[in-house]
Structure 1
Amino acid sequence: GGLMACPMSLQTLLEGWRDELPPTVAECVITGLSLDSRRVGGGEAFVAVQGARAHGTAFAQQAVQRGAVAVIHDGLGELADLGVPDVAVPELGRRLSSLGARFFHNPSEQLTVAGVTGTNGKTSTAHFIAQAWQRSSGDAGLIGTIGWGAMEALNPANMTTPDPIALQRMLSDCIDQGVEKVAMEVSSHALDQGRCDDVAFDAAVFTNLSRDHLDYHGTMEAYAAAKRRLFIDCHPRFAVVNQDDALGKDLIATIRNGTEVLSYGTNGSSELRGAVLAMDSGGMTLRLASPWGEGEVRSGLLGAFNLSNLLAAAGTLALLGLSWNRVMQEIELMHPVPGRMRCLGGERSQPVVVIDYAHTPDALRQALTALRAHLHGRLVCVFGCGGDRDAGKRPMMAAVAEELADQVVLTNDNPRNEDPAVIIADLLEGMARPERALVVEDRATAIRQAIHASREGDIVLWDSDLIKALRFQAGWSQTQLAEELGVRQQTVSEWETGVYQPSRHMCKFLMLIAEQAGFVYGVDKHT
């Protein structure tokens, strides 16, 4: 962790947002801020606003018991007598980002920040940017689904974009850890809720828009409006926008007020263009043309869609100061994000197993199409859909799997409060020939059966979430697993929380499962 944030009086923190504060309140000094009553530390202020299920004031008592010395609220919740100063701030809900920025002294202004938004490609693009910064200057940070903090010591993440106060705290911690540049994933939810309002973005990147999170947003228009908040309301210095995408074209036409736009894509009119010249099981050869120069480059990544992510990262890196020669070198060095299109096996007459994280019909189509281009043989797809989420995409996912894979294996993927049988029925509904699908409710068994049924030259695609479930289903403790793998237990727990680890651990983990299924694996191509 970083240094303690400097203590601040409520008077200084709330300057201009409140009339005269009573002296006892004004002089109250706090050492931190938190929206989460379970994470409040001694000496900190608890910030209470309307949450998804209850008003934060319902948890104020708990926060005070944990050591909160003040409660800042919006005046709309029921508040019992707490024995510590409380202060109502009008419209606090939309000022959370400003509140965090004030307390932590505007950390984003001391950093180079690149924000990446879009349905698919956010995680990979942000990770590519951070990887390159880390290799070239050793001072990169990341905030996103993989983790947050300095690249060399990521902390596990629990959501894509943290709450507005936690986000400012993370940026501040990054500075304390010696980070100078941060790549950040920015979800639509976060933009919608104003979680990034007070982040000074040097570059804003838009990857694409497809059906996703519609259970949250309801309509594509709302989704598009959320994206505009990043490109227009946040006034980034640079915007890097995918011109192959309809919303991207629209954004390019609407971005104004001093933001310099760089368009990228595969069509001739983009300022940064790329084309795939050749693909094989070891990666692809690309041709790039940009305002800074052009050339051919070799990438070890799989899938033509990664060309788009690489272009987005390359444009951002070049605009933010990396020389074009260096950018070309970095493209060659990019390795995949943990859990994204990882290639295992394929040696000694084994099938190739590819692990991916495809949660939308588009992403699944992309993954399966990419694999078709790289490999020859049967393509087996193992997947399920989570419960309590946009059910409309289930039949669409199954239809894509049926169309592009030779064998579809349906299984459970985190049913939450739903009946797993209903989810599988929704999936089968999307298939023209549901009788050809293999339904195996237990995830571990599903993967074993898929591997069993495959031969040399075949590919098995499954979702990285499935892997997380396997440790629990196989019933191994972290300690057992660590011993089996010959790694520290911390490695196993980091690996499970999705923190970046070299893929050989992943590989050994899979070998164990595979051996239980009576199978032996080849080596991971990426190590």
Structure 2
Amino acid sequence: MSQWIDALTACRVLLGDPTKEELQSISYDSRKAKAGDLFLCLKGTKLDSHDKIPELIASGVRIFVVEKELEELHLADAERDKLCIVKVENGREALAELSAFYFHYPSREMLMIGITGTKGKTTTASMVRSILEEGGYRTGLIGTTGIDYAGIHEESRNTTPESYTLQETFRKMREKGCTAVVMEASSQGFKMHRTDEILFDYGIFTNIEEDHIGENEHKDFAEYKYYKSCIFKQSKIGLVNRDANFAEEFLENAPCPCYTFALENMADFQAKEIENLRQDDFIGTCFTFLHGEVKERIFNHLPGAYNVYNALAAVSLACLLKIPMEKIKHALSKIKVNGRMEVVLQRDGHTVIVDYAHNAMGMKNLLQTLRSYNPGRLIVVFGCGGNRSKDRRYGMGEVAGEMADFSILTADNSRYEKTEDIIADIESTLSKKSSAYIAIPDRREAIAYALAHAKRGDLIAVIGKGHEEYNEVNGQLTHFVDREVILEEADKLAEKK
């Protein structure tokens, strides 16, 4: 791999001759770098790996891709003759370019499906994967719940992993026989160039609302919207929810041809005659799918209008791929998504579900859906993440006050803030709408309280964590799974009876 320099679209050689340097491996984490690596220096919000160059040289690293000029690197004269240093304008762009080159552009060998949107990415991705598998594609999945392919599961801290991890994962998927990849493409993924060097065969847009705006995310909604729209620049064909905010703007500006789906507006693919269904071990929906001469009644194992949107996106894509309708219907009829409207417990006449809803939009959609099943009382257990925009707390407090019969405020990844302070922010809006709430900072105790006070016909929603298996406090992750805690506390209650 001596011609790695050609993979960089814009660069300038500061030292050495890159054409004489073999690319053995790539590193961008100074803690993991080793002799023989090409090390790519990145300037982060907290750390600048350019500062690590002296110790990396001491450990045997000789090839560097940097964002700074030579005089800014403060190299000893004796070291310069041994080094190869190339300057780029954007290190993250370069990382994506080099990673794709290093792994021989694996995404070009598979059907690539990208999904973006404020809500619905994870569920839609799971539905698409299920349908593709039913249709004969061996499919890898990358997203919020981790990385899955060929019976292998890997955790991922980011919805869209770093570009090197993505390209490495694509290569591993291909080597295991995958013929398709379904991945969630987050706005942060586009902003941080993680998805560079990927051309999606189909890019799906689910919806957009104000979210992920703050110091550690996007500076404002305009930036957030721009990076959501980037999926169309990286897709051969777009698939757009025409009922979503800004859908017409996205359609008008998309550089690729687009199909549309909708429940309300005219679209290429439509869902009508939506019906709620409830049985002993699940709640779901049924709808009529319309496309040209096609009219099919489809059962969806997940409840709510927003899950009809998710299912409609998946079915629309499957039709474009010419997957037989019977296979589509069979895949949707059996799907369950971990931590997404997941029925965890039905006991003593009440039902407990777990969901990932962690902002006002998600919470409103969830509670509207659950209310449509006419519960005795609708009880919600929730908190809000620390070191994120306070608007999220105010919004969730307002929604809970308006839509829940009783709210239990608790911890949810407080990070470096005090749980009590986060709860106080939620209370500031909730208390203006309702007095039916209690604050229990310990999440296990909050869940136990909800179960102990549940009555026949009640529906309890434990939200915010969904599939997550940890609670984050002061930089430390401790094992915590809502599903497990619900079942454990329910068993304790049963033993007391």
Per the normalisation by structure 1, the TM-score is: 0.83
Cα shift at 1:378: 0.9
- Contact 1:118–1:187 at 8 Å: present in 2 too? yes
- Contact 1:11–1:21 at 8 Å: present in 2 too? no
Gaps of 5+ in 1: 1-6, 479-492, 499-505, 522-527
Cα shift at 1:357: 0.7
User: Cα RMSD between the aligned structures?
Assistant: 3.0
Question: Aligned partners of 2:220 and 2:8: how far apart in 1?
Answer: 36
Task: Tell me the alpha carbon deviations over residues 42-90 of structure 1, each in whole angstroms, 9 at most, x when there is no partner.
Answer: 6432211211222222234565677755322223563555796341223
Task: Tell me the alpha carbon deviations over residues 279-313 of structure 1, each in whole angstroms, 9 at most, x when there is no partner.
Answer: 13232211110246221112221222100011111
Q: What secondary structure, in the 3-state scheme, does the structure 2 residue paired with 1:38 have?
A: coil
Matched, 1:289 2:290: yes
Change over 3 Å in CA distance of 1:201–1:41 after alignment to 2: farther
What are the within-5 Å matches in structure 2 for residues 63-462 of structure 1?
68=61, 70-76=63-69, 78=73, 80=75, 85-93=83-91, 94-137=93-136, 139-150=138-149, 152-215=151-214, 216-231=217-232, 233-234=233-234, 236-256=235-255, 259-281=256-278, 282-291=283-292, 293-335=294-336, 337-347=337-347, 349-431=348-430, 432-433=432-433, 435-462=435-462
- Contact 2:394–2:425 at 8 Å: present in 1 too? yes
Change over 3 Å in CA distance of 1:16–1:342 after alignment to 2: closer
- Contact 2:285–2:301 at 8 Å: present in 1 too? yes
Question: Aligned partners of 2:43 and 2:9: how far apart in 1?
Answer: 23
- Contact 1:265–1:273 at 8 Å: present in 2 too? yes
- Contact 1:114–1:182 at 8 Å: present in 2 too? yes
Question: Aligned partners of 1:49 and 1:511: how far apart in 2?
Answer: 45
- Contact 1:134–1:151 at 8 Å: present in 2 too? no
Which structure carries more strand by proportion?
2
Change over 3 Å in CA distance of 1:63–1:455 after alignment to 2: farther
Matched, 1:29 2:22: yes
Could you tell me which amino acid in structure 2 is paired with residue 184 of structure 1? M
Question: Aligned partners of 1:250 and 1:471: how far apart in 2?
Answer: 39
Change over 3 Å in CA distance of 1:69–1:19 after alignment to 2: closer
Change over 3 Å in CA distance of 1:515–1:92 after alignment to 2: same
Change over 3 Å in CA distance of 1:65–1:202 after alignment to 2: farther
Gaps of 5+ in 2: none
- Contact 2:16–2:85 at 8 Å: present in 1 too? no
Q: Percent identity?
A: 25
Partner of 1:51: 44
Change over 3 Å in CA distance of 1:355–1:61 after alignment to 2: farther
Matched, 1:512 2:488: yes
Task: Tell me the alpha carbon deviations over residues 105-158 of structure 1, each in whole angstroms, 9 at most, x when there is no partner.
Answer: 222211111110110001111121122222332510011111124152121111
- Contact 2:353–2:461 at 8 Å: present in 1 too? yes
Could you tell me which amino acid in structure 1 is paired with residue 151 of structure 2? E
Q: What secondary structure, in the 3-state scheme, does the structure 1 residue paired with 2:379 have?
A: strand
Question: Aligned partners of 1:136 and 1:65: how far apart in 2?
Answer: 53
Question: Aligned partners of 1:54 and 1:298: how far apart in 2?
Answer: 50
Q: What secondary structure, in the 3-state scheme, does the structure 1 residue paired with 2:157 have?
A: coil
How many residues matched? Answer: 481
- Contact 1:339–1:464 at 8 Å: present in 2 too? no
Cα shift at 1:366: 0.7
- Contact 2:448–2:490 at 8 Å: present in 1 too? yes
Q: What secondary structure, in the 3-state scheme, does the structure 1 residue paired with 2:260 have?
A: strand
- Contact 2:137–2:179 at 8 Å: present in 1 too? no
